[in-house]
Amino acid sequence: MRPSRLLPCLLTALTLLLTACAHPIRNPDPIDLAMRRYAGDVPGASLLVVRDGEVLVRRSYGLADLDTRDAATPSTDYRLASVSKQFTAAAILLLVEQGRLSLDDRLRRWLPELPEADDAITLRQVLTHSSGLVDYEDLMPADATGQISDQGVLELLVREPRLYFAPGSQYRYSNSGYVLLGLVVERASGMPLADFLHDRIFQPLGMHHILMYERGRGPEVPDRAYGYSFIDGKWIRTDQSPTSATRGDGGIYSNIDDLAKWNAALDDDRLLTAASRAAMFHPWVEVTGEPWQARYGFGWRLTGDTQWHSGETMGFRNVIVRWPKQHLTVIVLSNRNDPEPYATALAIAKPYLQ
């Protein structure tokens, strides 16, 4: 190379070296790396990691609304889907504590219009998905477009003379059961389900943004995330489906901050007694027909040393995982149909468990 060309090359190399020294390449944050699919101009997620009551990670990624470009934040409210079931279970336990009902009450005591085939079903069996109740989604017309209500679910089950199996003999996850439990809460308490949850659980715990959402009744969802599905190479809003209006099985919206307060209440007597919490987290039945090894309590799956539950509905995937012995909790809420966040939560927790 001629000297006239060598000097510019040396100057360029020196410039690159100085730039690299001034801006060294940093290792990516492992949590951001685990959450990378939620980052950018895509449907997002909110993440919370709590240990010993201290918030270690509180982050959000992506967008809560692709149309308005509103970013997801820790205040964003996501539809919890089946994570709602633990609140319905807690409502039942509160009524047990008040002497309003018993876990061994027959379901037909509170919903006598159900068929005689359901006569042996107890509330305990409904809580643990061992009732044998037929899933209402299996009874809905295939071409249904309107949203079914809790009353609509009850009417379908009133006309259904069969069960999947004898009550108490097997496990089969049942959204029907938790819809009916919500109706039992209303009949035993004399209050609408949304009001009971607000007055007896949310407000006492200082959860001011969580709510059981009922369109046309009560407040709208604050800081609402809208659900999306990845279809034909692009994100499409899929926020509602024919089953998105039922309540006890999945109708709650919340942000991670309010779920932190709920998580804390599960460790002491501020809401439920020790006996109620022991019942909630007791491994009553073995989970079968699902892709993970677990037993089921009341609104919680139990695997190894974890207490957890996922929530999936059109456009939302969520999970809460608790390690009670290690006083660690990881919560992931997302407004998208993919990925499934359970594995992500476990990966995020691993360094803290070590």
Neighbours of 82 (CB within 10 A): 20
State the greatest distance between any 2 C-alpha atoms of the chain, in Å, as a whole number. 99
Residues spanned by the domain of 52: 30-353
Q: Using CA atoms, how far apart are residues 226 and 237, in angstroms rounded to an integer? A: 7
Place of tokens 């009949």: 187
* CA dihedral (283, 284, 286, 292) positive or negative: negative
- Provide the token pair at 159: 């006309």
pTM of the model: 0.91
| Mean pLDDT computed over every residue of the chain | 92
Confidence bin at 16 (pLDDT 50/70/90): very low
pLDDT given for residue 26 in this prediction: 60
Total number of domains in the chain: 1
Which DSSP helix (H) or strand (E) runs through 30?
helix 30-34
Strand, helix or coil at 10?
helix
pLDDT digits (tens, 9 = 90+) for 240-295: 988 889 999 999 999 999 999 999 999 999 999 999 999 999 999 999 999 989 99
Question: What DSSP letter does each residue of 91-141 carry, written as one string?
Answer: HHHHHHHTTS--TTSBHHHH-TTS-GGGTT-BHHHHHTT-S-PPPHHHHS-
Active site residue 82: yes
Q: Is residue 83 part of a domain?
A: yes
Length of the chain: 354
Catalytic residue among 82, 254, 276, 334: 82
pLDDT digits (tens, 9 = 90+) for 61-118: 999 999 999 999 999 999 999 999 999 999 999 999 999 999 999 999 999 999 999 9
Eight-state DSSP code of residue 83: G
Could you tell me which of 323, 319, 322 has the C-alpha nearest to residue 82? 319
- CATH number for position 164: 3.40.710.10
Q: Is residue 17 part of a domain?
A: no
Among 33-47, 163-177, 198-212, 240-254, the least confident range? 240-254
